[in-house]
Amino acid sequence: MEEFRDSLVEFLRNSYLNEIIEEEKEVTIDLNKLYLSGFMEVVEFIVNNPFDGLKFIEECYKEAYFILKSETLDEVKIKFKNIPKIFRGERFNIKDIGSKYINKLVEFEALIILASKRKPILKKAYYYCEKCGSSLKEEIDIFNFSEERVCKCGSIMKLIEDKSEFTDFQELKVQEPLDLLENPDEPPKYITVILENSPGIYAGRVRIVGVPIKIRKSKKLPVYDLVVKALSCEVLDGEVKIKLSKKDVEKIKKLAKRDDIIDILSDKLIPEIKGHSIIKKAIFLQQIKGVKKPGKRADIHILLITDPGIGKTVMLRKIAEIPGNIYGSITTATGVGLTAAVVKEKTEIGEESWVIKPGLLVKANKGTACIDELTVNRDILSYVLEAMESQTIHISKGGINAKLPAECSVLAACNPKYGRFDPDKSVSEQINIPAPLLSRFDLIFPLKDVPNKDEDREIAEYIVDLHRAYLDKEVSKKMGLEEFEVDGIKIDKDLLIKYIFYARALKPVISERAKELLINYYVNMRKKHQITARQIEAAIRIAEAHAKAKLKEEVDEEDVKVAINIITECLKEIAYDPEEGIYDIDKIVGMSRKDREKVEIVYNAIKELSKRNELVSYLSIVEMVKDKIKEEEIDSIIKRLIKYGDIDEPKPGRFRILE
């Protein structure tokens, strides 16, 4: 490599002038830029001999520094990025790392699934011989370390820690991002990454440039494990990047001109389920998201409460196929599997250490967490609330203090506790989700299985055709499962996903007329109905998503009307009081206003009667309130008062007030 030294020093001096002037201690060399600048042989040497190449680049950089600054640079950390595709192909993944890449330079994207606590590790050991006074300082191989060395005089040199050098060390277990899998049906491969000089990375998507090295796990067998020693670890923003051609954009713009394009695409987003058009539209808009602003989330949270047999798991798994989205079932995961776990676990280094295991909400950062069988224990409630509102999860345990990103939409589903959804009961009574968490959902939809002869026949026919379509291409084509045509444009899953990602990147601004419509909606609803500011926040997000889906620069009245319609359809199902003719938000998270008034009537009656007798009979309560409340309701109200601790029943049929 010596024949390239002078020209490389000159290149580094010119290309990294700012880094030299600013005296940066870490410098990242763009290998593709180096390759295109004529240093093909140098880059090839670095790729095939990364540690020697790293040392050579460091020497050249220090020379360039000396030429410019007229002083010696003691230490600089060189990192690499952008290995030319000629060496590793168009896309290099974890699955490609094998024995032929041992001690070669590789680059890949990955998702962190486990991260150890950051700890100091010996980098340069200082050995001293007490007999002859000789000393030795050398780089340490963490997999082949000894506290002693043999001196030239034959004596044992001892490690002197106070004179040795340490760096921050971390171990990561990473897996292939799901959107980069060639075959989505195959489980993602994973590998361990050894990260020195770590700033503390605990979650997210990263780009690793490093060297696969072998570790022998057993002295009895000549079998080795592979780990990657990272030379650099770049934390990415988590946003999945989808490549769109000029033709793709032309097709998307043409499709967006159709008035009914959102209805068409939302229906085909989940073709396995027939009907439920409003819910499908809401889920489609959820994937596009609102507009991100400081302190305001763009993500739309949706909860589906489904009667048995509706197909909630099919819906969630279908949405999880969109790049960046993650599916998980609470029946197969612990509560902390939603947020993040801090546990002690044996690592590749061979010792037990505190590690973070990012949960579903962290892994779905920038995408959608599709959560099946949602139920949340009280011990993790605060973490889930934080994740859904502020979109972060704070961890403080085992010496690890970290703030993990959880900027994702939540699409959750659960079954009613009593089998089928009852519109006369509050939502919180029917599911195992605490009221504070329920209030974080923008939309809550019950999917009810209501017998209807005509609809049942249509659904049965659709299900049978689905089964036929898997084996009959003509049926599949007729149903548009694999692809369908709109205005001469063939739309398959790939183009549908591209449409979503293209629309997601837009940032329409709310127009003055749309603003007035939103304000009037909120004010008018507040006059008659018990709604809160959360509903107008949800309306804004949905309206923005609708405008983005139509590729608009402004959120207009049409977008707001669609948002209001979706929210109204949702409230009709979960918060409408037919007797009062109003929407009552309290009915979602607890008792409706009407039920609360009835409870107060019974409680006040017991309180009044207890002034005459400490124990109040059931019959006397019925007699006192029968003009205001039906007798069949009184028993359940009394049971509710006992449950809440307002009264008790010391004798059968006799009640008293608990102060």
Looking at residue 336, its pLDDT comes to 66
Clarify whether residues 604 and 565 are in a common domain.
Answer: no
Listed residues 206, 235, 264: the one ending a domain: 235
| Span 541-555, pLDDT tens digits | 999 999 999 999 999
Q: Are the C-beta atoms of 646 and 634 separated by less than 8 Å?
A: no
- Residue 431, pLDDT above cutoff 90: no
- Residue 334, pLDDT above cutoff 60: no
Clarify whether residues 71 and 104 are in a common domain.
Answer: no
Percent of the chain surpassing pLDDT 90: 37
Confidence of residue 591 (pLDDT cuts 50, 70, 90): low
Average pLDDT over residues 242-260: 93
| Span 593-622, pLDDT tens digits | 677 788 889 999 998 898 888 899 999 999
The pairing of strands 135-139 and 368-372 is unpaired
Looking at residue 276, its pLDDT comes to 86
Clarify whether residues 70 and 109 are in a common domain.
Answer: no
Looking at residue 437, its pLDDT comes to 81
Average pLDDT over residues 408-427: 85
Q: Which long-range contacts (CB under 8 A, 24 or more apart) does 585-588 make?
A: 585/529, 585/530, 585/531, 585/532, 585/535, 586/426, 586/530, 587/426, 587/427, 588/426, 588/427, 588/428, 588/438, 588/439, 588/444
Higher pLDDT, 488 or 375: 488
Looking at residue 380, its pLDDT comes to 66
Clarify whether residues 136 and 225 are in a common domain.
Answer: yes
Looking at residue 379, its pLDDT comes to 64
By the 10 Å C-beta count (0-12 exposed, 13-18 middle, 19+ buried), 245 is classed as exposed
| Span 509-540, pLDDT tens digits | 999 999 999 999 999 888 776 677 888 999 99
DSSP letter at 189? P
Q: Is residue 265 part of a domain?
A: no
Residue 149: give its domain's CATH number.
Answer: 2.40.50.140
| Span 258-305, pLDDT tens digits | 999 999 999 889 888 888 899 999 999 999 999 999 888 999 999 999
Clarify whether residues 638 and 583 are in a common domain.
Answer: no
Average pLDDT over residues 32-44: 94
Q: Which long-range contacts (CB under 8 A, 24 or more apart) does 355-359 make?
A: 355/114, 355/115, 355/116, 355/117, 355/171, 356/114, 356/115, 356/116, 356/202, 356/203, 356/395, 356/400, 356/402, 356/404, 357/113, 357/114, 358/112, 358/113, 358/115, 358/202, 358/203, 358/404, 359/333, 359/393
Listed residues 560, 588, 616: the one ending a domain: 588
Clarify whether residues 543 and 580 are in a common domain.
Answer: yes
Clarify whether residues 211 and 107 are in a common domain.
Answer: yes
∠ Cα 574 578 583 (to 5°):
50
Q: Which of 68-77, 198-207, 426-435, 629-638 has the lowest mean pLDDT?
A: 426-435
Residue 617: give its domain's CATH number.
Answer: 1.10.10
Q: Is residue 501 part of a domain?
A: no
3 CB-near residues (< 8 Å, 6+ apart): none
Q: Is residue 42 part of a domain?
A: yes
Average pLDDT over residues 625-651: 83
Decide: helix, strand or coil at residue 328.
Answer: strand
Amino acid at 256: A
- What does pLDDT average to over the chain? 86
Clarify whether residues 123 and 164 are in a common domain.
Answer: yes
Looking at residue 141, its pLDDT comes to 74
Distances 325 to 198, 287, 335, 562 between C-alpha atoms, Å:
28, 9, 19, 25
Q: Is residue 361 part of a domain?
A: no
Looking at residue 613, its pLDDT comes to 85
Q: Is residue 267 part of a domain?
A: no
Length reported for the chain: 659
Looking at residue 246, its pLDDT comes to 93
59 CB-near residues (< 8 Å, 6+ apart): none
Percent of the chain surpassing pLDDT 70: 92
Looking at residue 427, its pLDDT comes to 82
8 CB-near residues (< 8 Å, 6+ apart): 39, 42, 57, 60
Residue 21: give its domain's CATH number.
Answer: 3.30.1640.10
Q: Is residue 460 part of a domain?
A: no
Looking at residue 480, its pLDDT comes to 67
Structure tokens at 16: 């990294």
Radius of gyration for the chain, computed over Cα atoms and rounded to the nearest angstrom = 32
Clarify whether residues 560 and 628 are in a common domain.
Answer: no
Report which of 187, 217, 497 is spatially closest to residue 368, judged by C-alpha positions: 497
Q: Is residue 304 part of a domain?
A: no
Amino acid at 284: F
- Residue 332, pLDDT above cutoff 60: no
- Residue 557, pLDDT above cutoff 70: yes
Listed residues 86, 112, 146: the one ending a domain: 86
HSE, side-chain direction, 13 A CA sphere, residue 554:
9
The pairing of strands 340-346 and 352-358 is antiparallel
- Domain range for 179 is 94-235
Looking at residue 309, its pLDDT comes to 77
Clarify whether residues 33 and 141 are in a common domain.
Answer: no
Give the H/E segment covering residue 55. Answer: helix 50-69
- Residue 335, pLDDT above cutoff 60: no
Average pLDDT over residues 567-596: 75
∠ Cα 308 309 315 (to 5°):
105
Structure tokens at 136: 């030795």
- Residue 377, pLDDT above cutoff 70: no
| Span 176-216, pLDDT tens digits | 887 777 776 778 898 999 988 888 888 888 999 999 998 87
Q: Are the C-beta atoms of 65 and 117 separated by less than 8 Å?
A: no
Confidence of residue 126 (pLDDT cuts 50, 70, 90): very high
* Calpha distance 283→295 (Å, rounded): 23
Clarify whether residues 107 and 186 are in a common domain.
Answer: yes
Looking at residue 350, its pLDDT comes to 60
Total number of domains constituting the chain: 4
Q: Which of 35-49, 74-88, 592-606, 621-635 has the lowest mean pLDDT?
A: 592-606
> pTM of this prediction?
0.77
Q: Is 398 left (phi over 0), alpha (psi -120 to 50) or beta?
A: left
| Span 459-504, pLDDT tens digits | 777 777 777 766 777 777 766 667 788 888 998 989 999 999 999 9
Average pLDDT over residues 372-378: 75
Looking at residue 637, its pLDDT comes to 87
Looking at residue 543, its pLDDT comes to 98
Looking at residue 478, its pLDDT comes to 67
Clarify whether residues 82 and 198 are in a common domain.
Answer: no
Q: Is residue 316 part of a domain?
A: no
Higher pLDDT, 611 or 585: 611
Distances 539 to 292, 300, 498, 512, 543 between C-alpha atoms, Å:
14, 10, 25, 15, 6
